[in-house]
Amino acid sequence: METKTALVTGINGQDGSYLADFLLTKGYKVYGMERRCSRKNRVNTEHLEGKITFINGDLADQNSLLRCIKECSPDEIYNLGAMSFVGESWNTPETTSDVNALGVLRMLEAIRESGRDIRFYQASTSEMYGKVVETPQKETTPFYPRSPYGVSKLYGYWITKNYRESYGVFACNGILFNHESERRGIEFVTRKISDGVARIALGLSDHIALGNLDAQRDWGYAPDYVEAMWAMLQHDTPDDYVISTGECYSIRDFLQRAFACVNISNWEDYVKQDERFMRPAEVDYLVGDSSKARDVLGWKPSVSFDEMVSRMVFNDIDLLGDDN
Ligand code: NAP
Ligand code: G4F
């Protein structure tokens, strides 16, 4: 069988690292694109050194993308690189838009310029539904983004669809609902909670400071979700798919489950609400209908919410235990 080559942007992020793990099991040659920085951040990808090829590139720099494609000659590109933290997007709306919106355009243009037949995956998001106009949200639900991040991702979504329709690029949008894991960035609420609970259990802290506890999300497990990205690019025709569990929980539910892992039932005593973590505009409720992906791609999630919370908490206990 012919070896396929994939270029993955955002390689050092949560999804990039899991996708590389998955593609290696499928026999791919994997190139992981990372930005040059003063100190390498390969917490999620240290184990991939020697197994994949790291390549420097920046979604804010057109020439670097052209060079990356020339250097790897990929069959598939997974565009996962982004300023992905919604809260930060109000502080850096311009950079967020440059990378998350124009970065997609730059990559699509680089594909066109290369003249190669490259399949393209765009990391779109449930944040595009924002102030939801329909529940559950599916591929046909109108969008109403509520943050500079959501707005920037909406451009990425449409330009991907547009290049598919204008130039026949095999380009797919995965509209992924929140997905979490042991490799989740520490600033996101689930990992902040699992890390905070671990610290409290180990006597290293006495509380967690959080913002809005009433928001509700459809939380899945990241390794399940990267399989859906791959499945989209293996299908006969390019299309857009919602990827979600169909279940919805609040931050309070997450807290209750996480504290229960360390036998604490009075979790409210350990949580302080802090204005600093409230957002100028909130997405209150997201729950996805992934019937299309389940029917067409045969995809379904395998790890339950409770199992995911427990894996995250015990992983953080292990990590902190190793540090002490
Ligand atoms: P993540 O952990 O924050 O990873 C994002 C990666 O993008 C980081 O490795 C970051 O590298 C890289 N990046 C940032 N700016 C870049 C630039 N200018 N050029 C190239 N790379 C750049 O995010 P994730 O959770 O893995 O998510 C992957 C993608 O899916 C993102 O596009 C995100 O918006 C989207 N998404 C995520 C979810 C979710 O729940 N996780 C749901 C829907 C969609 P640095 O280390 O250099 O900053
Ligand atoms: O964990 P979050 O920061 O994730 P958010 O905003 O849902 O975005 C994530 O999922 C999107 C898919 O829907 C992705 F596109 C995006 O890249 C990212 O991966 O916040 C979740 C909820 C929010 O309602 C927030 O207001 O948790 C609430 N929250 C309450 N206290 C907090 C905190 N969020 C964070 N990060 N930190 C807090 O202290």
Q: Which ligand is nearest to the CA of 15?
A: 1
The pLDDT value recorded for residue 37 is 87
Percent of the chain topping pLDDT 70: 99
Give residue ranges with CB within 6 A of ligand 1.
Answer: 9-10, 12-16, 35, 37, 41, 58-60, 80-84, 99, 123, 125, 176, 178-179, 185
Q: Is the confidence at residue 148, as pLDDT, over 90?
A: yes
Q: Among 129, 149, 178, which is best to mutate for testing ligand 2, by the most ligand atoms less than 8 A from CB?
A: 178
Mean pLDDT of 232-254: 98
224 pLDDT band (50/70/90 cuts)? very high
Q: Which two tokens stand for residue 215?
A: 């928001």
Q: Is the confidence at residue 303, as pLDDT, over 90?
A: yes
The pLDDT value recorded for residue 38 is 85
- 115: Cβ–Cβ under 8 A, 6 or more apart, which residues? none
- 167: Cβ–Cβ under 8 A, 6 or more apart, which residues? 112
Q: Which ligand is nearest to the CA of 250?
A: 2
The pLDDT value recorded for residue 190 is 98
Condensed to tens digits (0 to 9), the pLDDT of residues 263-277 reads: 999 999 999 999 999
Which residue, by CA, sits nearest to atom 12 of ligand 2?
Answer: 178
Condensed to tens digits (0 to 9), the pLDDT of residues 103-117 reads: 999 999 999 999 999
The pTM of the full predicted model, rounded to 2 decimals, is: 0.98
Q: Is the confidence at residue 324, as pLDDT, over 90?
A: no
212 pLDDT band (50/70/90 cuts)? very high
The pLDDT value recorded for residue 1 is 67
Number of H helices, E strands in the chain: 10, 13
- 113: Cβ–Cβ under 8 A, 6 or more apart, which residues? 66
Mean pLDDT of 209-218: 98
Condensed to tens digits (0 to 9), the pLDDT of residues 177-205 reads: 999 999 999 999 999 999 999 999 999 99
- 50: Cβ–Cβ under 8 A, 6 or more apart, which residues? none
163 pLDDT band (50/70/90 cuts)? very high
Kindly report the average pLDDT of the chain as a whole number: 97
